Structure 1
Amino acid sequence: MSEVRLEGVSRWYGDVVAVNGVSMTIGPGVTGLLGPNGAGKSTLIHMMGGFLQPSSGTVTLDGEPIWHNPQVYRRLGLVPERESSYDFLTGRQFIVAMAKLHGLPDPDAAARRAIGLVEMDYAAGRTIGQYSKGMKQRIKMASALVHDPAVLLLDEPFNGMDPRQRLQLMDLIRAMADEGRTILFSSHILEEVERLAGHIEVVIAGRHAASGDFREIRRLMTDRPHLFLVRSSDDRALAASLVADGTARSVRLTPQGLEVEAVDFARFTLLLPRLARDAAVRLWEVSPSDESLESVFSYLVAR
C-alpha cells in the first residue's frame, strides 16, 4: 500500500502564489480534493505526479521524492484535466504506446486489459479525434491504468461523461480502492465526491483548509449552528420541551417536522432522547440537515 506525502509544499509563479505551505498525506482508499476554481488543486496534482517542481517543501511517494525520480512513475497513474491528446492515433495505438513507454513485457495484452477496464473495447479501433469528450476521458483513464499503478491521481476525471459512464467509472474507482490502491481525485461536482470519497482534503486560495471525513469536519465547526429535522409522535409537545430546556437556539414547526437549530451538537444529541421521554413523545426521525458535503464546503469557503 502506497502513500503520497506533501510537507510544507508551496509553488509560485513570479509574484503569484498558487500553493502556499500545504501539508497532507494521501493514503490507501479514495480521497477527494476540493476547492473553488483557482484554489490550486491542479497545481497540487501536477506536483504529486512529478510534472511540477515544488518551489519549496517536499512531495514524496513512500518516502521517495517524486520530482526528477523516474523510478516512482512506475507506481503512479495520472489523468490530467487538460484535453490534449494524440487525435491521429486510434485508442488502441495510444494505449499500446503508453504500455511501451512503461517498458511493459506485453504491451498489447496490457493495452487490452486497460481498455477493457474503462469499457472502450468497442471504440478502440477509432481515432481519438473522433471521440466525444467523455470517450477521451475514458481513454485517458486507460492510459493511467495500463501499467497497473498503486497510486492514481485523477484531475476532474468525470468531465464530459454521461450518467452511465460516470456510474461505470465510479464503480471502477471503488473496486480499485478495495484492492488497496491510493486514489486522489478532484471534482467540482460535490455529489461525486460525497458518493466516492471516504476522506476529503480542502484547499482554499492555495492553503490547506480542512482534512478528514466531511461529517467530522462539520461537527468540529463549533462556531456554526447545527440544523436538524426531527419527526415525532407529537411535534408541538417536543418543541415546547426543547424551547423550555434551552437546548436549541431555535425551533420551527413545519409540515415535514421540527426544524431545530442547535449550537452544541454533542449536548443536543444527548439531551433530545431524554426530553422526548420526559414529554412522553416518541421520536421517529432525527436527521442532520446541514451535514452534506455541500454544506461543509460552503461553510469553509465562506470563512
Structure 2
Amino acid sequence: MSTVELTAVSRWYGNVVAVNDVTLTISPGVTGLLGPNGAGKTTVLHLMAGLLAPSQGTVTIDGKPAWRNPEMYRDLGLVTERESVPGFLTAWEFVLASAKLHKLPNPEEAARRALAIVELHDAQDRRISTYSKGMRQRTRVAAALVHDPTVLLLDEPFNGMDPRQRMHLMQLLHKMADEGRTILFSSHILEEVEQLSGTVQVIVAGRLAASGDYRHIRRLMTTRPHQFSITSSNDRLLATVLIGQPSVSGVSLERDAVQVQASDYGTFTRALAKLAREQDIRLTSVLPSDESLEMVFSYLVAT
C-alpha cells in the first residue's frame, strides 16, 4: 500500500502562483480532488506524478521524492486530462506500447488484461480515431493500468463518458481501492465525488480549502449562506413575513421576485414552506441564485 504526501508545497510560474502552500496526504482508497476549473487540480496531480518540480516544499510517494525518480513509475499510473492518444493506432497497439515501455515480462498478456478491465477487448483492433470520446478515455485508462500500479492518478477521468461507462469506471476504481491501491481523481462536479469517494480534498485558487470526509464537506456547503429568488401568489406579504425569521439575514422585493439571503439552507427551506402554508401563499418558484461551484468553493475558503 502506498501513500502520497505533499508538505508545504507551492508551485509558481513567474509571478503566477498555481499552488500555494498545500499540505495533504493521500492514503490507500479513493480520494476526490475537488475544485472549480482553474483551481490548480491539474498542477497538484502533475506534482504528484513527478512531471513538475515543486517551487517550494516536498512531494513524496512512500517517503521517496516524486521529482526525478524514474523508479516511481513502476508503481504509478497517470491519466491526464488532455488527450494525447494517436488516432492512427488501434487500442491494442497503444496499450501494448505502454506495456513494452514498462518492460513488462509478458506485455501481450498485460495489454490483453488491461483492455478487458475497461471493456474494450471487442473494439481493440479498431483505430482510435474511430472511437467516441468515452472509448478514447477508456483506452487511456487501460494504458495507465497495464503495469498494475499501486497508485493511480486520474485528471477529470469521467469527461466524455456516458452514464453506463461512468458507472463501470466507478465500480472499477472501487474494486482497485478495495485491493489496497491509492487512487486520486480530480473533478469539478460534486456528484461525481459524492458517488465515488468518501474522502475529499478541496482546492480553490491553488489553496487547500477543505479536507476530510465527504459528508463533512457537504455539510459545510449546505449550511453556508444561500441566496434565493422566490415567486409567489403574494410577493409583498411573503417578503414581510420572511423579514422576521431567524434564518433570514436579508430580504428585497423586486418587480418579479423576492430576493432572500438565508443564513442556513435547511432551516430556511423548512420555515419557508410552513410560513407559506400559514399565510395561504402559493409558492410558484424557489430558485437558488448562487449555486455556481465558484460561489460554493469561495465560501469554503472563507470559513
Pairwise TM-score range, normalised by the shorter structure: 0.7 to 0.9
What percent identity do the matched residue pairs reach? 64
**1:108 Cα shift?**
0.1
Q: Structure 1: any 5+ residue segments left out of the alignment?
A: 227-247, 251-260, 269-293
Residue identity matched to 2:120: M
Contact 1:29 1:198 in 2 (8 A): no
Of 211-220 and 166-175, deviating more is 211-220
Q: Tell me the alpha carbon deviations over residues 140-165 of structure 1, each in whole angstroms, 9 at most, x when there is no partner.
A: 00011000000100001011111111
Could you tell me the TM-score, scaled by structure 1's length? 0.75
Residue identity matched to 1:182: T
- 2:297 pairs, out of 278, 296, 300, with 300
1:54 is matched with 54
Residue identity matched to 1:115: L
Q: Tell me the alpha carbon deviations over residues 18-41 of structure 1, each in whole angstroms, 9 at most, x when there is no partner.
A: 111111000011100011111100
Matches within 5 A, 1:1-303: 1-217=1-217, 224=224, 249=247, 298-302=295-299, 303=302
Separation in structure 1 between the aligned mates of residue 165 and residue 32 of structure 2, nearest angstrom: 19
Of 20-29 and 125-134, deviating more is 125-134
Separation in structure 2 between the aligned mates of residue 34 and residue 210 of structure 1, nearest angstrom: 10
Residue identity matched to 2:112: R
Distance 1:53 1:38, change over 3 A: same
Separation in structure 1 between the aligned mates of residue 28 and residue 79 of structure 2, nearest angstrom: 18
Separation in structure 1 between the aligned mates of residue 192 and residue 71 of structure 2, nearest angstrom: 32
Distance 1:297 1:170, change over 3 A: farther
**1:301 Cα shift?**
2.2
Separation in structure 2 between the aligned mates of residue 133 and residue 222 of structure 1, nearest angstrom: 34
Q: Tell me the alpha carbon deviations over residues 1-58 of structure 1, each in whole angstroms, 9 at most, x when there is no partner.
A: 1100001111111111111111100001110001111110001101111111111111
Pairwise CA RMSD: 2.8
Separation in structure 2 between the aligned mates of residue 214 and residue 9 of structure 1, nearest angstrom: 23
Could you tell me the TM-score, scaled by structure 2's length? 0.75
**1:221 Cα shift?**
8.1
- Matched position secondary structure for 1:105: coil
Separation in structure 1 between the aligned mates of residue 120 and residue 263 of structure 2, nearest angstrom: 50
Distance 1:218 1:194, change over 3 A: closer
**1:188 Cα shift?**
2.1
Distance 1:300 1:95, change over 3 A: same
Residue identity matched to 1:80: T
- Matched position secondary structure for 2:159: coil
Q: Structure 2: any 5+ residue segments left out of the alignment?
A: 227-245, 249-261, 268-290
